Amino acid sequence: MGSESRVRLLVSGRVQGVGFRYAAREAASECGAAGWVRNLPDGTVEIVAQGSAAAIACLRTWAEKGPRHGRVERVSEEPLPPSPLTGFEIRR
């Protein structure tokens, strides 16, 4: 795990009801990141992702654009301590 990073991304804008979580799961798979995504009650989407610096950068770049029907206004990033994660799931 040594070179892996873990981050929490909070994505705001028109990001709920537009397929964001499903598109994030696909993007994470393509980027090589593990973790999860969920909608938060305040209308934002939370992504916790872990992987190489390149995988995290790839997912962050995707999150800044989001899915076709969404409109991302802001992405904030918070580093987290790495812990064992496999796969990428949608949480409710």
Residues with catalytic annotation?
21, 39
Beta strands in 17-80 (DSSP E): 34-39, 45-51, 71-80
Contact assessment for residue 56 and residue 64, using Cβ atoms and an 8 Å cutoff: no
Beta strands in the chain (DSSP E): 5-14, 34-39, 45-51, 71-80, 88-90
Strand partners for 75? 11
